[in-house]
Structure 1
Amino acid sequence: MTATSADWRPRLAPAIVLRHDRVRDTDLLLLPERVVVLRGAAGAVVGLCDGTRSVRDIVGELAGRFPGTPVATDVPPFLEDMREEGWLR
């Protein structure tokens, strides 16, 4: 994690909404013309992307929720991939 990426405060892009589908018990990203199904802990990660937490804060929060998982190595690239898709700002 570089200093710049660690300080980035990701938030959902305009017109994108995070919703939980109770019927399927999964989190979804609702985009203007499609739906993205978030698998595993992806919904928990995206749920922390509110523009107030830095990537470092998100990693710290998730490390507490999911001890023993490779949060520090998995979350920053996941967030960067979502930014490249245009889903996060």
Structure 2
Amino acid sequence: MSLPSLDSVPRIRRGFRLQFEPAQGCHVLLYPEGMVKLNDSAGEILQRVDGSRDVAAIIAELSKSFPGVPGIDEDILAFLEVAHAQFWIELH
């Protein structure tokens, strides 16, 4: 696995859908075979994965929304790396 570049544009893979699930009390990623329950951080990141923002813009927006969180950029990159490896997102 390798970290996504800052200029790559992630989007949720076809066949997957992100939504807030009130019964679960969190965001989930739905796909034909099941569901992935996301923690709050993953939900915040994937809400910004819209196929138009690049990784740098996602990092900038989350850094502004959550100021003072040390290492937020590395955490976002690490999550996107895992999401890509799990085939939840595509990078363009």
TM-score scaled by length of structure 1:
0.91
Specify every segment of 5 or more residues in structure 1 that has no aligned partner in the other structure, as ranges. none
Task: For residue 31 of structure 1, report the CA deviation from its aligned partner.
Answer: 1.2
Name the aligned partner's letter for residue 52 of structure 2.
Answer: T
Counterpart residue number, 1:57: 57
Counterpart residue number, 1:87: 88
Larger RCO: Structure 1 or Structure 2 (Cα < 8 Å, ≥ 6 residues apart)? 2
Separation in structure 2 between the aligned mates of residue 35 and residue 24 of structure 1, nearest angstrom: 11
Once superposed, what is the RMSD of the aligned Cα atoms? Answer: 1.3
Report percent identity of matched pairs.
32
- Decide whether the 8 Å contact of 2:11 with 2:51 is kept in 1: yes
More strand by share: 2
More helix by share: 1
Runs of 4+ in 1 over 2 A off after TM superposition: none
Separation in structure 2 between the aligned mates of residue 63 and residue 72 of structure 1, nearest angstrom: 8
Separation in structure 1 between the aligned mates of residue 32 and residue 24 of structure 2, nearest angstrom: 21
- Decide whether the 8 Å contact of 2:27 with 2:40 is kept in 1: no
TM-score scaled by length of structure 2:
0.88
